[in-house]
Structure 1
């Protein structure tokens, strides 16, 4: 059955992104793969997105990310999402990748079953919100590690993110003698550990990632990262994209992922492995289900083990590493997993809310969107994770 799938992306970066934007990358790849499978796809996104996307957020909003107006921008975007969903013809699935206000908007418009992919960690406030709205949306985890962090949520499936394997390449020659750490610079990503590993092994280190304009991130960069940058042994590239990123990934001796938290996925790790570059990662979060020990990389417990693993990376065969990764994390594999999920939800009705009027204030302007009162008599529910296996990969 061919479906009309509406993908709701966050309002901050375009689809596909022009650099930073992991969620946006995944949404773009999913949309392309669904279209290639013959399905109709509508993407709601930010300005600068692909020509077929419906633009609901101007480029100027990006400067409000992390600022006092962020929530108002999100509410304005949610209002526009709701209005657009009500105007589109025959929607089979609304697949939200944004969350919170936009997820509520998708649920209360009552146009189609709603699926939400949880792209980040799940602190208490998030879990409380998800639990409250769970009767009206199906939640998808991006890793088993993420799902296990909140076992009480009625997950409908686990689908690993994909990477753009067609734009990645495996270096035809010898690897170059530098270590790569590709991530936004912040305490969670552990660039200070990568710097220490490079010092101990005597290897050059390339830190590729932006420094977000938040006080704790700027402080971390100034205190623990900037003093080591000398543009020789330690190099910082603020934001890499396109061919530059492809070359950086494929030619690196190894990618270091010294994460300091239970990261629910790791796109940079998968991109490196799909480029034939082994990953040396802390055995935390999803890293344990992404890295195949000795084939695509190595899992370590601390800085000492990470430094000792660096020489082992020379024994990883690039094409074997790349082939194993591409088979697991291709856009086609991700799309097929989501299609199975969409089919399972279509076979089981979603609890529908009654419509009411809710006034939402966005950017200082009041506008009405369709909202919902809980219907205790609503019939049916979404299938739980135990009802259907939807893994894009074996975990």
Structure 2
């Protein structure tokens, strides 16, 4: 930390209890929380952050590492409740200017009713299903709600969002590689929603090798999808890495001709897309969900409406300059830009905004 500002804010940031801050592999929200807390401290604010065991220095670790295996199981809600109880037992003797929750509805309710800060901020990291929309409309006057993409906010016009702040990724310390290989890569959980079967089709038709990296979703549908749609194609042309992370992941993504994302759902924010672009690796994606606002066509990738267009886009990849791709993405998705967006939300005195026109700080406009 560079030293506290005279008007430094006291901020409590409550991350999810599932993976360390920062994560060793999986854990997109955990990465975002880590980058936000680190940048706010660098800017001179007093930040108290909570997370899981094995987190970095400066994190109060109140969730057991073993709880990660309960995510998605019947034990998830009790683990989360236990974590939140521990967090608020530690927070109770103190007062803050802001509590910023990243855990979900239960954590937001506790933050609102704790009485520990005049401002409660909550980032919505998930898909806005009907139950979630109904919940957020119930509490929108008591907390400042932030979306992570304009497309996410537009799926819930009845919810009053205070703004849109794009997630950040870890900025690479090296220049983008000019030495590109011909392979395509998709880093994502193996599940029908991620569309790996379409990545296989695109790679086959384009005559490219494909690397798939990601754990198989722990459901019967996920396992069946892998066995029926992915496993029969594995071999020299389609390689599979279930636990790709760290330097190996960065090397394969940085050397790839493109990262490919034929997603079958409206993803609120494509963190893996951004992680590829900051390395100078262009992204091929369907024009759905957050992809159109993350990808700058011809600079950081290409958008397609179907498999035929995506196959054609593979032939255009040489038109993209890796340095321009990386520079654009590193500026748009930097930790500093994300932190400034939230600081604007922390300090804003406005308490009423139009329901379907959330303010979008730092140029993050919500389209009409």
The verdict on a shared fold, with TM-score over 0.5 as the criterion, is yes
Whole-angstrom distance in 2 between the partners of 1:226 and 1:190: 14
| Residue 70 of structure 1, CA deviation | 1.0
Whole-angstrom distance in 1 between the partners of 2:122 and 2:173: 27
| Residue 392 of structure 1, CA deviation | 5.8
| Residue 79 of structure 1, CA deviation | 1.8
- Match of residue 94 from structure 1: 99
Q: Does 1:184 align with 2:189?
A: yes
* TM, length-normalised to structure 2: 0.93
Q: Does 1:265 align with 2:265?
A: no
- Match of residue 109 from structure 2: 104
Any conservation in 2 of the 1:278–1:296 contact (CA below 8 Å)?
A: yes
Any conservation in 2 of the 1:137–1:382 contact (CA below 8 Å)?
A: no
SS at match of 1:216: helix
Q: How does 1:264-303 map to 2 (within 5 A)?
A: 264-303=268-307
Any conservation in 1 of the 2:144–2:345 contact (CA below 8 Å)?
A: no
Q: How does 1:196-211 map to 2 (within 5 A)?
A: 196-211=201-216
Any conservation in 2 of the 1:12–1:65 contact (CA below 8 Å)?
A: yes
Whole-angstrom distance in 1 between the partners of 2:60 and 2:241: 32
Deviations 1:101-122 (A, max 9, x none): 1121111111111111011111
Any conservation in 2 of the 1:139–1:156 contact (CA below 8 Å)?
A: yes
Any conservation in 1 of the 2:164–2:365 contact (CA below 8 Å)?
A: no
SS at match of 1:281: strand
Match of 1:390 among 358, 361, 366: 361
The structure carrying a bigger strand percent of its residues is 1
Any conservation in 1 of the 2:175–2:323 contact (CA below 8 Å)?
A: no
- Match of residue 304 from structure 1: 308
Q: How does 1:221-260 map to 2 (within 5 A)?
A: 221-230=226-235, 232-260=236-264
- Match of residue 145 from structure 1: 151
* TM, length-normalised to structure 1: 0.87
CA-based RMSD of the aligned residues comes to 1.6
SS at match of 2:172: helix
Whole-angstrom distance in 2 between the partners of 1:210 and 1:121: 20
SS at match of 1:66: coil
Aligned length: 358
| Residue 85 of structure 1, CA deviation | 2.3
Whole-angstrom distance in 2 between the partners of 1:102 and 1:82: 10
1:192 and 1:278, CA in 2 relative to 1: closer, same or farther beyond 3 A?
A: same
Q: Does 1:31 align with 2:31?
A: no
SS at match of 1:166: coil
| Residue 260 of structure 1, CA deviation | 0.5
| Residue 295 of structure 1, CA deviation | 1.0
- Match of residue 3 from structure 2: none
- Match of residue 343 from structure 1: 347
Q: Does 1:318 align with 2:289?
A: no
Any conservation in 2 of the 1:168–1:246 contact (CA below 8 Å)?
A: no
Deviates more, 1:385-394 or 1:62-71: 385-394
Whole-angstrom distance in 2 between the partners of 1:388 and 1:148: 12
- Match of residue 14 from structure 1: 20
Any conservation in 1 of the 2:217–2:223 contact (CA below 8 Å)?
A: yes
- Match of residue 45 from structure 1: 51
- Whose radius of gyration is greater, 1 or 2? 1
Deviations 1:218-252 (A, max 9, x none): 1111111111112x210111122221122122110
| Residue 81 of structure 1, CA deviation | 2.5
Any conservation in 1 of the 2:211–2:239 contact (CA below 8 Å)?
A: yes
| Residue 167 of structure 1, CA deviation | 4.8
| Residue 212 of structure 1, CA deviation | 2.5
- Match of residue 156 from structure 1: 162
| Residue 125 of structure 1, CA deviation | 1.1
- Match of residue 222 from structure 2: 217
